[in-house]
Amino acid sequence: MTNRQRLGIHTMTLKSWSLQETCAALAAAEVPAITLWRQAIEPVGVDLARQLVEDAGLRVTSLCRGGFFPAATEQGRQDAIDENRRVIDEAAAVGAPAVVLVCGAVPGQSLQTSRAQIQDGIAAVLPHAKACGVNLSIEPLHPIYAADRSAVNTMAQARRMCEQLNGENETQVGIAADVYHIWFDDALEQEILLSGKAGWLHAFHICDWKVEQSDPLQDRGLMGEGVIDIRQIYQWMSAAGYTGDIEVEIFSSHHWAKDPNLFLQEILTAYDECL
Amino acid sequence: MTNRQRLGIHTMTLKSWSLQETCAALAAAEVPAITLWRQAIEPVGVDLARQLVEDAGLRVTSLCRGGFFPAATEQGRQDAIDENRRVIDEAAAVGAPAVVLVCGAVPGQSLQTSRAQIQDGIAAVLPHAKACGVNLSIEPLHPIYAADRSAVNTMAQARRMCEQLNGENETQVGIAADVYHIWFDDALEQEILLSGKAGWLHAFHICDWKVEQSDPLQDRGLMGEGVIDIRQIYQWMSAAGYTGDIEVEIFSSHHWAKDPNLFLQEILTAYDECL
């Protein structure tokens, strides 16, 4: 059995549970870490959320999610910046060391423009993130999401943004590397190494890419159900110096339809087998 | 109205028509070029297919498609090579100057291995292609197809294969650039230019990327229905020296369900507007 000391699970992965239920179940299963989605916090508020997580003895890896910086209007972009400052406040309040950024895109707006707006948006909130002691983790998204969810689609793009946004030897802005979004990239090993050397590998998300997908958003595979060589990517992350949590993030209407107790057991088994 | 002297349409775009019907309709609409899919040739045979195209006064841009070189067994890879030699023969017989290669991938086999098998496969059939005077056009496919349809997912990967496979100043192996597969690539302008300078831009396929897609294969958009800046990519192709046909290749159960006469008219209008 693989050591589970680094295992984290996203609240969204077990979305049919309330935060109370998820915390209790993870504690009972000796899962040490939790990734909090704002949707799971909202019903209870940040204070109770923090209490629940602490009482369960869980480590918070990050808050999902901020981002969505691009907008067609200046007002829209300012609204996004304001919202991201609130997300950073929420992360600090709930004890999350980082905010994961799904960076955003605007259908019909050029990706170059969206990428510039993303970089400007992160720069605008970065001082607040520093003041709050919260890291910002850019998550490159698979190119299938380039039209409307993220104009940042490769590890290389995320790394270049880190270069632009961080001061020398700074690691406040980093990368959340999710195997689903990056597995096909022929520069992946090199990019992981470059970002790791700079200290920018903030997070590592795992799931799987099913060959047949019924839905582009909600048919991600449990580790082992698809084609991704997770162990290989894990080894590249390790070689690049990443020692943080390994987070299971799965959006799946198929898995969500079953008893979450059963799904959690399947996750534990799949986690042990994939690493 | 844009000059239609470079317009080509794939038989698959008008798939409910027989080859006879497609040739007659394209001639009547003064569409000068046709891209032949093997499925359209099969019912009539290569000799009659060639005759139909010639009688309609159509220019054949290429034959779709060869490829699918990777396989788990040596026998499987040899079968693919044999099949590609037959595809090359068919292209020569029907008067197609090139075969478009959808390169293939094997679920569960590493992309590195598949890419090596693709390069070996093309190398194996290249002498026959040269002897037949048929070009081989690698079509990079969007990363959504990396698991099972093509391990070649970027213009850069295709260009590097051209570098490896062509002798000095040779252009027998080139690239079929389809906007659907490459639009998000932040290296696109540069890659088009590099391949164009080498003479490797064999083909240019257009359609559109719809933000909401009901199916990963058969819900491609008519030009203008999605987010791709086709004019921008066309300008990059032109700046790179591409003067060949502009081929409309659309897989769409939605558009296929309508009267193909109507769809052809919509294609003509959309073509004029997008360039």
| φ/ψ (deg, to 5) at A9 | -130, 135
Range of the domain at A50: 4-274
Rounded to whole angstroms, what are the CA distances from B109 to A56, A140, B66, B117, B121?
A: 41, 24, 20, 11, 16
As a whole number, mean pLDDT of residues B91-109 equals 97
The number of angstroms, rounded, from the C-alpha of B150 to the middle of its chain's C-alpha atoms is 13
As a whole number, mean pLDDT of residues A1-14 equals 89
pTM above 0.90? Answer: yes
Q: Give the count of beta carbons closer than 10 Å to the beta carbon of residue B15.
A: 18
- Confidence tier at B2 by pLDDT (50, 70, 90): low
As a whole number, mean pLDDT of residues A110-132 equals 98
ipTM at complex level: 0.94
Question: Which 8-state DSSP code applies to residue B214?
Answer: S
CB A69, CB A104: distance < 8 Å: yes
* B213 vs A contacts (CB less than 8 Å): 216
DSSP count for chain B of H helices, then E strands = 11, 8
pLDDT of residue A148 exceeding 50: yes
Pairing of strands A98-102, B201-206: unpaired
- Confidence tier at A1 by pLDDT (50, 70, 90): very low
Question: Which 8-state DSSP code applies to residue B151?
Answer: S
Give the mean pLDDT of chain B. Answer: 97
Give the mean pLDDT of chain A. Answer: 97
Give how many domains chain B has, as a whole number: 1
Tell me the count of A-B CB pairs closer than 8 A.
Answer: 53
Chain B interface disruption, residue of A144, A149, A186, most B CBs within 10 A? A186
Q: Which of B107, B154, B211 sits opposite A148 (nearest CB)?
A: B211
CB B31, CB B64: distance < 8 Å: no
Question: Which 8-state DSSP code applies to residue B216?
Answer: S
Nearest CA in chain B to A110: B229
> Which of these, B119, B202, B109, lies nearest to B157 by C-alpha position?
B119
Q: Give the count of beta carbons closer than 10 Å to the beta carbon of residue B45.
A: 12
pLDDT tens per residue across span A233-245: 999 999 999 999 9
CB contact under 8 A, B143 and A107: no
CB contact under 8 A, B154 and A186: yes
Supply the CATH number for residue A158's domain: 3.20.20.150
CB contact under 8 A, A107 and B213: no
Pairing of strands A135-138, A59-67: unpaired
CB A91, CB A101: distance < 8 Å: no
Phi-psi region of B231 (alpha: psi -120 to 50; beta: other; left: phi over 0): alpha
Percent of chain B with pLDDT over 70: 99
